[in-house]
């Protein structure tokens, strides 16, 4: 998503904005209904029995498209044995300074959603999540003529996108200390074409509370890498 925003800077205007919004709202309601319908027959099962919890806070170092890096915080809160809330915030920046050109770029992203989990074995859960997502990208570019360094042009720009993402997959314990998850997802933003992605993560538990986490999100634009620490409660 960030790569598209940065390249395009301003989203293309749909030929029928109201129709596009109605279509997005309709799809969102349909996806929500589908997730709840799939969840209903399984809601009697509990995930706590396999030792996988969903109340945690995680702090990450993030490296993403085109040398952007920064920090992110994410977490989830277990509402019941089968449902949880989840959210995240990430802030990454990049600076470029070459002869005749300098640029600063900032990318902020936010997600807030709900998840459903049900055990599929003694060590694994099937997990599905639906979340609202927003991306804000802004930059400051300065271009100068090499022959006339005093003759420069500055430009400030920004681009924004709001939408949703839906993911589903498996989270489980490989050993008592090693955990992993593999999710497949789809994200869609108003004014942009939808995008499929894969989210992979592995964690090592030092104690019952603390673990080291590493992950990558792969999509059509470019991968986003994460390395962090998680506290589980």
Q: Stretch 61-66: mean pLDDT, rounded? A: 88
CATH class of 2-232: mainly beta
Q: Stretch 110-120: mean pLDDT, rounded? A: 96
pLDDT, tens only, 166-179: 999 999 999 999 99
Q: Report the pLDDT value the prediction gives residue 29, as an integer from 0 to 100.
A: 52
Nearest to 105 by CA among 5, 12, 187: 5
Are the C-beta atoms of residues 224 and 62 closer than 8 Å to each other?
A: yes
User: What is the torsional sign of CA 197, 63, 112, 171?
Assistant: positive
Radius of gyration of the chain (CA): 20
Q: Report the pLDDT value the prediction gives residue 179, as an integer from 0 to 100.
A: 96
Residue 201 clears pLDDT 60, i.e. is over it:
yes
pLDDT, tens only, 139-158: 998 888 766 666 788 889 99
Q: Report the pLDDT value the prediction gives residue 48, as an integer from 0 to 100.
A: 59
Residue with tokens 């673990």: 211
Are the C-beta atoms of residues 217 and 199 closer than 8 Å to each other?
A: yes
Helix residue ranges, H only, the chain: 2-8, 17-39
Nearest to 77 by CA among 59, 60, 53, 94: 53
Residue 49 clears pLDDT 80, i.e. is over it:
no
Q: Report the pLDDT value the prediction gives residue 10, as an integer from 0 to 100.
A: 42
pTM of the model: 0.77
């Amino acid at each position: 998503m960030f790569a598209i925003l940065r390249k395009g800077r301003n989203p293309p205007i749909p030929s029928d904005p109201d129709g596009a919004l109605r279509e997005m709202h309709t799809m969102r309601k349909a996806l929500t209904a589908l997730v709840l319908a799939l969840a209903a027959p399984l809601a009697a099962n509990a995930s706590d029995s396999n030792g996988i919890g969903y109340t945690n806070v995680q702090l990450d170092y993030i490296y993403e498209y085109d040398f952007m890096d920064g920090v992110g915080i994410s977490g989830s809160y277990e509402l019941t044995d089968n449902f949880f809330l989840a959210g995240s915030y990430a802030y990454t920046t990049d600076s470029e300074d070459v002869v005749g050109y300098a640029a600063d770029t900032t990318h902020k992203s936010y997600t807030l959603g709900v998840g459903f989990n049900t055990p599929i074995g003694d060590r694994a859960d099937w997990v599905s999540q639906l979340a609202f997502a927003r991306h804000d990208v802004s930059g400051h570019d300065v271009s100068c003529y090499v022959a006339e360094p005093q003759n420069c042009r500055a430009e400030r720009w920004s681009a924004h996108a709001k939408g949703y993402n839906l993911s589903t997959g498996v989270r489980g314990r490989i050993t008592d200390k090693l955990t992993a998850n593999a999710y497949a997802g789809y994200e869609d933003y108003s004014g942009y074409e939808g995008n499929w992605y894969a989210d992979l993560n592995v964690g090592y538990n030092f104690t019952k509370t603390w673990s080291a986490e590493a992950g990558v999100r792969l999509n059509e634009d470019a991968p986003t890498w994460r390395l962090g620490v998680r506290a589980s409660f």
